[in-house]
Structure 1
Amino acid sequence: MTIELLLLLLALGAFVGVMAGLLGIGGGLIVVPALLFLLPISGIENEISMHIALATSLASIIVTSGSSAWNHLRLDNVDMFVIKWLMPGVVVGGFVGANLAEWIPTHYLPKVFGIIVLFLALQMLISIKRESQKTMPSNGVTMMYGAGIGVISSLAGIGGGSLSVPFLNRHGVEMRKAVGSSSVCGCVIAISGMIGFIIHGYNVENLPDYSVGYVYLPALAAIASTSMLTTRIGARLASSLPTAVLKKIFALFLIFVAGTMLL
């Protein structure tokens, strides 16, 4: 790894940390596209770069979302009742998504990623002008939603904030609580998904040195070392900004990422 690449990854981690604390995302929406651009520069083959990007993103999310969740817990931005019923589903879904990724052709994964994110961006923009009056669904239905969030998140290498924040906010959870609760779920999704990618990448040939399965440890260390330091900045911003502003930032960010992946 060159000094230039290391500095880029450290800067990436710092930015990811702020966005994780602010929006309740694990950072995969930023890390996956960035690694897809940076990994080939470091000599990693295109055939395996997507799986390495997904796995390394999930591994970094464990640190980023864990740090973000801790800061949100301190600020009382987490709804523990919601966490209780989403958690079982996201654990199972995260592992299933990592297994599905192994069967989907590599060149389709960025497109699947982009379409999912674009849909969520449009949904968030629509919700800005109206406050949801829905209540949370039954416990069983909430667990099934959690499973779906886990599958898609692991498949896309994200922590699930782009899925769980709109879901929770649509069902009456205040935006700050949705962001904080999403951080907790994102950490659990990432652990489950990362384990799946490690198992499936264990005997793959041509992986770069210092890899554990598909997880590329040098990139993980660089991103995680700065992201865990900057999540507190984003968490404090999330606690001070109005809900409508948070939604606009979230939606515009999603549109940018979707456009990057689709084009």
Structure 2
Amino acid sequence: MLDPLLMLELGALGLCTGFLAGLLGIGGGMLLVPFLTFILGARDVAPDLAVKMAIATSMATIVFTSVSSVRAHHAKGAVRWDIVQRLAPGIVLGGLLASLGVFALLKGAYLALFFGLFVSFSATQMFLDKKPSPARQMPGTAGQWVAGGGIGFLSGLVGAGGGFVSVPFMTWCNVSIHNAVATSAALGFPIALANVAGYVGSGLGMHGRPEGSLGYVWLPGLALIAVCSVLTAPLGARVAHRLPVRKLKRVFASLLFALAAYMFWKGVIALGN
């Protein structure tokens, strides 16, 4: 049984991440991973395992938040379903490769450092608001399969819905920011399903997991965060369509910079233990 303070913490985290999932198309994982790492670590889960369980549990919540937020985006006609169909096959394959294989082999400290490094790069590109070449378009079907594989693989390593990769990628290919955010929210569902299956399988034999864990997924945390996040994801999606493009990009980038710094710190601490 979870103590009341922990339930309050997880509920508040779910409300915030649901809103951000709808607002920025990031599935909430960029916020969940650092906070869940802190929450699990404060409850005597080993630092290396805490990072891995935070990543896996974060990804599992995206199954729920993506459905809630994409409905709101779809109602506004913002989801590019043609892009979803072409990216999804590669996303599933890349996600399974990461979550079933590479994730289990890497130390949590290295995953935390990789999280910080890649998110910092994505945030810089978004914050500088670099303009794509006017002639650049989304690649063909084969190219989108390859891009989907990269998005799914990277998402599997850091426990995010792929928005930190797919949103900059789509805007680089001249997809509008509002369409990119909405399409990223839709891509969160296949990303989450593929990676969660891998996290469950690769973590079943791990020792030191907290009570109520299924593989690397912490089920009590998942349940509370998911219930609260689906309440606020549609609100975030509605707000996203009212913000100007430049402001939305700056919000996205500022959030990523802060969370990257935290995970860099956690990775350095874990390496020292």
TM norm structure 1: 0.96
* Displacement of 1:36: 0.7
Q: Match for residue 174 of structure 1? A: 176
CA–CA distance in structure 1, aligned partners of residues 122 and 42 of structure 2? 31
Q: Match for residue 27 of structure 2? A: 26
| 1:129-180 deviation line (CA, Å, top 9, x unaligned) | x355211112101110110010001100111001000101110111111001
State the one-letter code of the partner of 1:118.
S
CA–CA distance in structure 2, aligned partners of residues 45 and 120 of structure 1? 29
* Displacement of 1:104: 1.2
| 1:13-69 deviation line (CA, Å, top 9, x unaligned) | 000011110000111111010011000222323231111111111101111112111
State the one-letter code of the partner of 2:143.
V
CA–CA distance in structure 1, aligned partners of residues 207 and 37 of structure 2? 19
Matches within 5 A, 1:121-136: 121-127=123-129, 130=131, 132-133=133-134, 134-136=136-138
Q: Is 1:144 aligned to residue 146 of structure 2?
A: yes
CA–CA distance in structure 2, aligned partners of residues 44 and 86 of structure 1? 36
Asked if the contact 2:132–2:173 (Cα under 8 Å) also holds between the matched residues in 1, the reply is no
CA–CA distance in structure 2, aligned partners of residues 66 and 40 of structure 1? 30
Q: Is 1:157 aligned to residue 159 of structure 2?
A: yes
CA–CA distance in structure 1, aligned partners of residues 220 and 232 of structure 2? 20
Asked if the contact 2:104–2:203 (Cα under 8 Å) also holds between the matched residues in 1, the reply is no
Q: Match for residue 190 of structure 1? A: 192
Q: Which moved more, 1:88-97 or 1:200-209?
A: 200-209
State the one-letter code of the partner of 1:31.
L
Q: Is 1:82 aligned to residue 83 of structure 2?
A: yes
CA–CA distance in structure 1, aligned partners of residues 123 and 237 of structure 2? 21
State the one-letter code of the partner of 2:190.
V
Q: Match for residue 38 of structure 2? A: 37
Q: Is 1:202 aligned to residue 211 of structure 2?
A: no
CA–CA distance in structure 1, aligned partners of residues 128 and 142 of structure 2? 27
* Displacement of 1:97: 1.3
Question: Structure 2 residue aligned with 1:227, among 223, 226, 229?
Answer: 229
State the one-letter code of the partner of 1:49.
A
| 1:108-131 deviation line (CA, Å, top 9, x unaligned) | 111000000000011112225x35
Asked if the contact 1:120–1:163 (Cα under 8 Å) also holds between the matched residues in 2, the reply is yes
Q: Match for residue 112 of structure 1? A: 114
* Residues paired across the two proteins, number: 262
* Displacement of 1:206: 2.3
Gaps of 5+ in 2: 266-273
CA–CA distance in structure 2, aligned partners of residues 252 and 201 of structure 1? 33
Q: Equivalent residue of 2:190, what SS?
A: helix
Q: Percent identity?
A: 39
CA–CA distance in structure 2, aligned partners of residues 132 and 73 of structure 1? 28
Q: Match for residue 244 of structure 1? A: 246
Q: Match for residue 13 of structure 1? A: 14
Taking a change above 3 Å as real, the CA distance of residues 132 and 252 of structure 1, as seen in their structure-2 partners, is farther
Taking a change above 3 Å as real, the CA distance of residues 249 and 132 of structure 1, as seen in their structure-2 partners, is farther
